[in-house]
Structure 1
């Protein structure tokens, strides 16, 4: 059990972030044991051939049988707009002491691929991660980021509607919040309590956890949790919708309207409904111009959400 103790200032300073490097490191879980991550089987199938050409010895040395990864793969993101290049540049400057400490915390020793001169080991680490990104993440990252950003928007709206406690208690079945304490039931048998004391708690949505996750060692306060909506990322979606609305709007626009009870980007919707990016943008603009959708910019994405008028139209047709 890991407990983060929040004072009043800490409660007000809870924030969200997205870390490409964190997502990259956690993806090793899905590669190591695909059966635990059925929602990402689509990604694993699409990237299987590309992964066969990577430095697998270095990558497999970054994860153990418990699916733990070193804390240097889980940097605390400063915002939802963190860039992988910046994170890899910071990783390249890791000290020998930090590098060894984080590897030993997971494996009990330094794995063979990372023994030897420190600079050479870190160069191999960064190169292996960069190649993994280019081969398996870069083609799909806009879609994946859209899901992560939509999750953050949802959680923010939940805080506004129901409060921080409701949001925190809904993150995962293994996460509880009460009386200023966030409790995370980890697979790690140790019992740790950490007062945040003004250092801030960062919440990080990810595709590659099924429960609450946290740094292995004494890293900055961070909680990684499963993002909502990822199940639809790799499969096209068919939404049952009232025939009357489809007769007015057309089947594709009616399906989009029915699906947008939660915010989503045009990129995510294009994948879910097997519609080209240009076509889905055209449909979303038409629905927005008619007052059936609202939209807001979040980082580099525009997220759409069904308006009260759109919801009333669906309800009336039903």
Structure 2
């Protein structure tokens, strides 16, 4: 029997049986669609990399850097929170309500999850016998899970979270720009090949055989980017809040530390670091993310960003407590113009004589 509660995380990796979830937007109102980020969801979904690291090759550098720290964690519990098809307990992937959700608030909530809910979610992931680490008094199990996840966060996530959060927030900004420029249908189509907006109804195709249609009136539809999911998924129970989790853009750059190559002519004009910044800022990013990618300090990056912005080569926008930067039209023209001139093509499109 299909579990009553089967959150988005658990639908990934299931059998392909042609499920279809449909969310009716209230008059296609933009206000009915919101973006949010959940640190706990990222923490939980990252446990998939423990069981099947080859499925997530982009995260191998992070797994290597945190190998020593993971060895000291409560690995029996952490490994028990996924199964062979990479499902995870629903209560550990809650619906977030803000792009700035705090991990402390989410961890506090799971410490007090009702025991019947805990039992249902664990049994849904492990319908046969529970792993040994999840057996016994459920109150004790609940506390052990919360402690294990908190220690996992402190040692393996917190040092890297600014970089992770920057990628997630940049994705949210990008989706907003797509929606503003091309409309909601284009934004939904850009999330995943599984997602489409047709006549005011968001359609999500899943690997399970779940099918239902419900309105989002009064609740809205929450879109949650994640670093540890390659497709898009959603709860397969109509009783769950309307949520779509989807793979964030830019994950491939998450663990890069080497400066990206930029045209030598551009580096000669503005310097190697600023040329690198202009090259990578074809998509939005924060100074913290850029510092990690280019291998320089955040304070140094901020100085270069201010200079490029003052020269009109970058635009910036505040997103919560972060400032995201993006190449301006002038910056685009400079980067593409230099590249064209180096390849022997004039701006007019005529061959160089």
Say whether the fold is shared (TM-score over 0.5): yes
Match among 97, 112, 116 for residue 93 of structure 1 = 112
How far apart are the structure 1 equivalents of 2:302 and 2:86? Answer: 39
| 1:265 aligned onto 2:286 | yes
| 1:126 aligned onto 2:158 | no
- How far off is 1:11 after superposition? 4.3
Matched residue SS, 1:65: coil
RMSD: 1.8
The corresponding residue for 1:161 is 181
**Length, aligned pairs only:** 318
How far apart are the structure 1 equivalents of 2:172 and 2:251? Answer: 13
| 1:21 aligned onto 2:40 | yes
Kept after mapping to 2: 8 A contact 1:296/1:304: yes
| 1:4 aligned onto 2:12 | no
How far apart are the structure 2 equivalents of 1:187 and 1:88? Answer: 29
User: Structure 1 length as normaliser, TM-score?
Assistant: 0.94
The corresponding residue for 2:67 is 48
How far apart are the structure 1 equivalents of 2:56 and 2:29? Answer: 32
Kept after mapping to 1: 8 A contact 2:216/2:242: yes
Map Cα deviations across residues 43-78 of structure 1 (whole Å, 9 max, x no partner): 111111211111111111211111000110111001
The corresponding residue for 2:14 is none
The corresponding residue for 2:295 is 274
Pair member with larger Rg:
2
Matched residue SS, 2:116: helix
- How far off is 1:219 after superposition? 2.4
User: Structure 2 length as normaliser, TM-score?
Assistant: 0.85
The corresponding residue for 2:136 is 116
- How far off is 1:240 after superposition? 4.2
- How far off is 1:289 after superposition? 1.8
Matched residue SS, 2:66: helix
The corresponding residue for 2:9 is none
| 1:253 aligned onto 2:271 | no
How far apart are the structure 1 equivalents of 2:142 and 2:149? Answer: 11
The corresponding residue for 2:15 is none
Match among 130, 137, 143 for residue 157 of structure 2 = 137
How far apart are the structure 1 equivalents of 2:28 and 2:197? Answer: 13
Map Cα deviations across residues 153-192 of structure 1 (whole Å, 9 max, x no partner): 0000100000111111111122222223323232323334
Kept after mapping to 2: 8 A contact 1:16/1:203: yes
Matched residue SS, 1:170: helix
Unaligned runs of 5+ in 1: none
How far apart are the structure 1 equivalents of 2:259 and 2:20? Answer: 40
| 1:179 aligned onto 2:174 | no
| 1:61 aligned onto 2:87 | no
Match among 162, 166, 169 for residue 146 of structure 1 = 166
Matched residue SS, 2:47: helix
